[in-house]
Amino acid sequence: MVILGLVRPELTRRLVCPSCTTPLDLRAFDEEGGRVREGVLLCDGCSTWYPIVSAVPVLLDFRTAAHDRFVSDHGGELAGYTLPRGRPRPGEESVQQTFGEEWAAVVDSELSFTYSEEDLESLNRRVWLAFLGERPEVSRLLDIGCGLGAETLALRKVTGADEVVGIDLNLSLLAGGAPREAPEGTHFAVASIFALPFERASFDLVYSQGVLHHTYSTEAAFSSVSAFVAERGYLFVWVYGQEDRLGLDGRRAVVTRTLYVAEQGLRPALARAPEAVREAFFKVASRAAHPLLRPRVQHPERWGRENTEHYLRDMLSPRFAWRHRWNEVLEWFERDDYEIVGVQSPNAYRELFGDRLWGVGVAGRRRG
Ligand SMILES: C[S@@+](CC[C@H](N)C(=O)[O-])C[C@H]1O[C@@H](n2cnc3c(N)ncnc32)[C@H](O)[C@@H]1O
């Protein structure tokens, strides 16, 4: 293990401008032991600069508060280049806000959602990426919507990929979220699904779990990430399932349907509410829900009130949370010329976690 140099030269060589796809040049302001802590990535194609903050490149095609802070520190050193001039897509600022708040609640937690590090590995090895087999031929992997990065680290272990890149739209990777320790070849960046800073068709596995349905269009997000899968490479996606809230019987059906109705009413209102209102709501709601939820999770001994808060925020604060049918997702794969090579395993999930598996998890291999 080495201290993670989040911008290492090998990654910067492969990055392209999210606005015009020209390869980027690195200018370092503050380096330590081969890693760049502060600096910029410069595009000579459209004369745009992209900041590197806390060793994480911010490769967005639109301006954020992080850019403004950077300008006030380094403005003089950026002559000849401008800030990104694009506009966020619908809902992107909301994702940055609500998911930023959501991840801030669990920056120091040992759990990612309900999973420990080991859980994430077995979940991917046995339930979602089982189709890869014992010796996966995955050299470059892109994890889309990596949150704070625990998932990216698990994927590296599961696939043994030489290079793994985790990207996420919200800025919590900058706020000390990106793992400080990771094997060489693991990188993180702030970027959007809709303007990815990589060469097209350059990853052996593109993976996106629980992310695409939080954009303005899951289908458009699917097409966007699919373009980065190499010939004969793999695409895995997991999205919310249409049947998740409706296909249960008995007492559990009553609970899930009630939660679903509550979610449908509360989520749009909470997503648009001022931050202080959300803050107050989730503090109160998480205190009330914590004693009920804690006994039901995998690791109650490690599950704190902040985990309950994260869980509730994830369910109730994203602006978009579309639900999809299996046939709809399979059709997207077929349309983009993938052969279906894997579907998630509910049995393996039950063996691992003793519970029902939700959502639609499918893997395809791009035809050559
Ligand atoms: C529910 S979390 C899932 C995180 C991670 N995949 C996991 O399962 O631990 C969804 C993540 O998608 C990210 N996201 C939403 N829209 C995005 C976009 N347009 N581009 C990149 N990331 C996005 C959010 O910021 C958030 O961190």
Q: What is the pLDDT of residue 4?
A: 37
Residue 145 CB less than 6 A away from ligand 1: yes
**Nearest alpha carbon to residue 40 among 20, 22, 55, 19:** 55
Q: Cβ(193) to ligand 1 under 6 A? A: yes
Query: What is the position in ligand 1's atom list of the atom closest to the CA of 112?
Result: 9
- What are the strands of the beta sheet with 48-53, ordered from one edge? 25-32, 35-43, 48-53, 56-57
Do 128 and 34 lie in one domain? The reply is no
Residues 78, 96 within the same domain = no
CA 151/CA 153 separation, integer angstroms: 5
The pTM for the full model equals: 0.94
Domain count of the chain?
A: 2
Ligand 1 center–CA 157 separation, angstroms: 21
Distance 208 CA to ligand 1 centre (A): 8
In the reported structure, the alpha carbon of residue 146 is separated from the centroid of ligand 1 by a whole-number distance in angstroms of 6
- Domain containing 50 equals 2-87
Cα 238 to ligand 1 centroid, rounded to whole Å: 12
Measuring CA to CA, how many Å separate 32 from each of 27, 36, 61? 14, 6, 28
109 and 46 co-located in one domain: no
Examine the domain organization and report whether 354 and 220 are in the same domain: yes
Same domain, 303 and 363: yes
Do 78 and 46 share a structural domain? yes
CB-ligand 1 contact for 209 (6 Å cutoff): yes
Instruction: Judge if 253 and 320 occupy the same domain.
Output: yes
> Do 255 and 282 sit in the same domain of this protein?
yes
357 and 212 assigned to the same domain: yes
- CA 16 to chain centroid, in Å, comes to 20
Confidence at residue 306, expressed as pLDDT on a 0 to 100 scale: 95
Q: Per-block average pLDDT, block size 10, for the chain (368 residues)?
A: 44 84 91 81 95 91 93 78 95 96 88 93 97 90 95 95 94 75 84 97 97 98 98 97 76 80 92 97 96 94 96 95 97 98 97 94 94
CB 99 within 8 A of CB 170: yes
Q: Are residues 41 and 116 in the same domain?
A: no
Atom of ligand 1 nearest to the CA of 193: 20
**What pLDDT, on the 0 to 100 scale, is given for residue 9?**
56
Q: Which of 87, 117, 139 represents a domain boundary (last residue)?
A: 87
Last residue of a domain, one of 87, 110, 143: 87
Asked if 260 and 325 sit in the same domain, the reply is yes
- Looking up residue 229, the CATH number of its domain turns out to be 3.40.50.150
Q: Which of residues 34, 56, 87 is at a domain's end?
A: 87
SS3 state of residue 141: strand
Tell whether 209 and 325 lie within a shared domain.
yes
Q: Does the CB atom of residue 112 touch ligand 1 within 6 A?
A: yes
Residue with CA at minimum distance from ligand 1 atom 4:
147
CA proximity to 40, closest of 62, 21, 14, 12: 12
Q: What is the residue-wise DSSP string for 29-70?
A: EEEETTEEEEEEEEETTTTEEEEEETTEEB--SB--HHHHHH
